[in-house]
Amino acid sequence: MNALTGHLSVLGHGVVTTVELTAVTTVAALLLGIIVAILRISPVPMLRGIGLVYVEVLQNLPLLALLVLFVFAFPQIGITFPLFTSAAIVIAAYEGAYMAEAIRAGINTVAVGQAEAARAIGLTFSQSLRYVILPQALRAVIQPIGNICIALLMNTSLAAAVGVVELTQAANNVNLVEAQPIEVFTGAGLAYMVLALIIGFTTGRLERKLAIVR
Amino acid sequence: MSSLKTKLVPRKSAALAAVAAATVLAVAACGGGSGSSSSAAGSTSNSGLGGSGVLAQSVYDSAPVAPASAIPAGSTMAMIKQKGQLTIGAALDAPLLSQQDPTNGKIEGFDADLAKLLAKYITGTTNVKTVTIGTQTREAMLSSKQVDAVFNTYTITPERASQVAFAGPYMSSGLAVAVKSSDNSIHSVKDLSGKTVIVGANTPAITELPKAAPNSKQVAFGTDPEAVQALTQGRGVAYVQDLTLLASDAKANPAIKVVGQPFTSEPYGIGLNHDDAQFKTFVNNWLKTIESDGIWAKVYQATLGSVVQGPVPTPPAIGSVDGS
């Protein structure tokens, strides 16, 4: 295990970057997902159209292609973001589409009567969303959102292709010195597994805690 | 509110989504087109170089074939001769070293041509089966005997030599520095201290740069065209990569230039199975033969010599490196 223990600081920095990237993009993707899901159920046809196009476009393009496009095409028109920021923006936008679909599925689980009741007591569209629909909808899809978070964690490894030194890139760099790919990548794989288990455990706890007892 | 009642807005049609996606794809393709113009130019001229990088048939015809006495029964060479083809691990995307021409499927370049010449030395024909190989899998492929030899700009190091045997070195190159053509402040690797430098992911530059230019900050990109693009877009002040690769990049793309001399020495070896000393001796003898009869120089001239300035270098002495 010398190949791993001799490079703990490099691998540790990689883990920290992966966790940072995952945390930032999860929050951004969740907010984006809520907004897009609301667009998709809004009463205005145009907004529904924008939501639909957003989801279909982002879900149907490979993440790596989006990353490379964003990092290399935007500087061409004079907009250059740092690499970490670029990766975070693209991954958040991409995972936001998946979040939106999960949240929309949650909204569909809320009975029609709830929305009708909300309207009957005089709540506006946004009030009925805030106080009636979304609190129930989000509770219903905690586990699917957790699954998207885990997929997001795995997808952060693609940021390595555009120069972000996260866990995968760190493992590559260590392997370059040690030429022990089995040890190094098993170690990196275990680290990803631990992170994914933490996410799974957290969402499992959250789901039980926030379950609606009907 | 009507849609809140029904909740799920029915998908208009798959066609609408397809049209929308196609539009965005087209827009994206346009953006990418202008964005990657230099890399597109790079690939065009690389194929142009491929034209001049093809070794003349007469060189293959005049190449030596091992005498029967050099191939004892039961040896690795005898097995390769019986099969009638040499199986090698190599890249398909290294310009001038080992690059597949998409128009005819042939693999050309310095490494690829040497592999064909080794095949001829053993079997009498230039029949080579190429297995695409990654830098992470070379040692495993050799020890499990999935390939007979690895021709892959495989730098000889003592760490690697504990797992594989190296014939050679058959070539010596080194890491060099490329900058934007408009940049006149950087003259050598020493000027890179404290600057942001672009490197190729999984290349020796990642470990060598901190030794040559302390405090420099690295940004790694996955492919060579991406790294060149990043340099022209100012993601770093310089791009550190193997001299042969940089020379062909600079020839293809006038926006960048190579400055100074290589600051490392990378002796390339032919990777062989660690426990097959007989085959290693055989390959080393073949290298000595083609180096002394001028075939090595002809291969160099036809490939790397077309972009690297200066006379044909003298090949490094066989076994001169720790690990070979």
What is the residue extent of each domain of chain B?
12-173+266-306, 175-259
Q: What is the pLDDT of residue B318?
A: 87
- The verdict on B183 touching A (C-beta cutoff 8 Å) is no
- The verdict on A148 touching B (C-beta cutoff 8 Å) is no
**Nearest in space to B218 (alpha carbons), one of A170, A151, A147, A181:** A170
For residue A165, the chain B residues in CB contact (below 8 A) are 218, 220
**A69–B35 CB contact, under 8 Å:** yes
Higher pLDDT, A53 or B109: A53
Confidence of residue B40 (pLDDT cuts 50, 70, 90): very low
Exposed/middle/buried for residue B297 (C-beta within 10 Å: 0-12, 13-18, 19+): middle
**A83–B219 CB contact, under 8 Å:** yes
**Are residues A114 and A136 in contact, defined by beta-carbon separation less than 8 angstroms?**
yes
Confidence of residue B47 (pLDDT cuts 50, 70, 90): very low
Q: What is the pLDDT of residue A191?
A: 95
Confidence check: pLDDT of B49 > 60:
no
User: B12-173+266-306 with B175-259: one CATH topology?
Assistant: yes
**A108–B7 CB contact, under 8 Å:** yes
**Nearest in space to B38 (alpha carbons), one of B272, B290, B239:** B239
**B4–A43 CB contact, under 8 Å:** yes
Confidence of residue B96 (pLDDT cuts 50, 70, 90): confident
Q: What is the pLDDT of residue A155?
A: 95
Backbone angles phi, psi at B221, to 5 degrees: -120, 150
**Nearest in space to B177 (alpha carbons), one of B98, B247, B230, B95:** B247
Q: What is the pLDDT of residue B106?
A: 87
Residue-wise pLDDT tens digits, B180-230: 999 888 888 888 989 999 998 878 888 889 888 888 998 998 888 889 999
Q: Where are the alpha helices (DSSP H) in B233-276?
A: 243-252
Kindly report the average pLDDT of chain B as a whole number. 80
pLDDT average, residue stretch B229-248: 89
Alpha carbons B279 and B268: distance in angstroms, whole number? 18
pLDDT average, residue stretch B63-90: 88
**A173–B206 CB contact, under 8 Å:** yes
Report the chain A residue with the minimal C-alpha distance to residue B160: A179
Q: What is the pLDDT of residue B29?
A: 43
Alpha carbons B121 and B108: distance in angstroms, whole number? 18
% chain B with pLDDT above 70? 83
Q: What is the pLDDT of residue A214?
A: 65
**Are residues B303 and B113 in contact, defined by beta-carbon separation less than 8 angstroms?**
yes
- The verdict on B220 touching A (C-beta cutoff 8 Å) is yes
The distance of B4 to chain A (nearest Cα, Å) reads 6
pLDDT average, residue stretch B3-13: 45
Higher pLDDT, A33 or B31: A33
Report the chain A residue with the minimal C-alpha distance to residue B135: A176
Q: What is the pLDDT of residue A149?
A: 96
Pairing of strands B238-242, B196-200: parallel
Distances (CA, A) of B319 to A196, B122, B166, B252: 48, 21, 9, 35
Residue-wise pLDDT tens digits, B141-192: 898 889 999 998 888 888 888 889 999 899 888 899 999 999 888 888 888 9
- Of the spans A116-120, B95-99, B103-107, B265-269, which averages the highest pLDDT? A116-120
Backbone angles phi, psi at B224, to 5 degrees: -65, -45
Residue-wise pLDDT tens digits, B277-310: 899 999 999 999 999 998 999 898 888 887 776 7
Low-confidence ranges of chain A (pLDDT < 70): 1, 213-214
- The verdict on B4 touching A (C-beta cutoff 8 Å) is yes
For residue A115, the chain B residues in CB contact (below 8 A) are 1, 4-5, 7
- The verdict on A13 touching B (C-beta cutoff 8 Å) is no
The CATH superfamily holding the domain B12-173+266-306 is Periplasmic binding protein-like II (3.40.190.10)
Confidence check: pLDDT of B2 > 50:
no
**Residues 35-94, chain B: which have Cβ within 8 Å of A?**
35-36
% chain B with pLDDT above 90? 23
Confidence of residue B53 (pLDDT cuts 50, 70, 90): low
Q: What is the pLDDT of residue B311?
A: 77
- The verdict on B322 touching A (C-beta cutoff 8 Å) is no
A91's tokens? 């991954």
pLDDT average, residue stretch B20-41: 41
Higher pLDDT, B315 or A34: A34
Place of tokens 């504990």: B162
- Of the spans A160-169, B22-31, B94-103, B252-261, which averages the highest pLDDT? A160-169
Confidence check: pLDDT of B43 > 70:
no
**Nearest in space to A171 (alpha carbons), one of B202, B205, B196, B221:** B202
User: Measured between alpha carbons, how far apart are the two ends of chain B, in Å?
Assistant: 77
Q: What is the pLDDT of residue B57?
A: 82
Q: What is the pLDDT of residue A22?
A: 96
Confidence check: pLDDT of B244 > 60:
yes
For residue B209, the chain A residues in CB contact (below 8 A) are none
If phi over 0 gives left and psi between -120 and 50 gives alpha, with beta otherwise, what is residue B103? alpha
A176-208 burial, b at 16+ Cβ within 10 Å, e below that, comes to bbbbbbebbbebbeebbeebbeebeeebeeebe
Q: What is the pLDDT of residue B147?
A: 92
- Which of B1, B4, B223 is the best mutation test for A, with the most CBs of A within 10 A? B4
B242's tokens? 């193997």
Long-range contacts of B143-146 (CB under 8 A, 24+ apart): B143/B273, B143/B274, B145/B273, B146/B87, B146/B89
In the three-class reduction of DSSP (H, G, I as helix; E, B as strand; rest coil), residue B90 is classed as: strand
CATH architecture of B175-259: 3-Layer(aba) Sandwich (3.40)
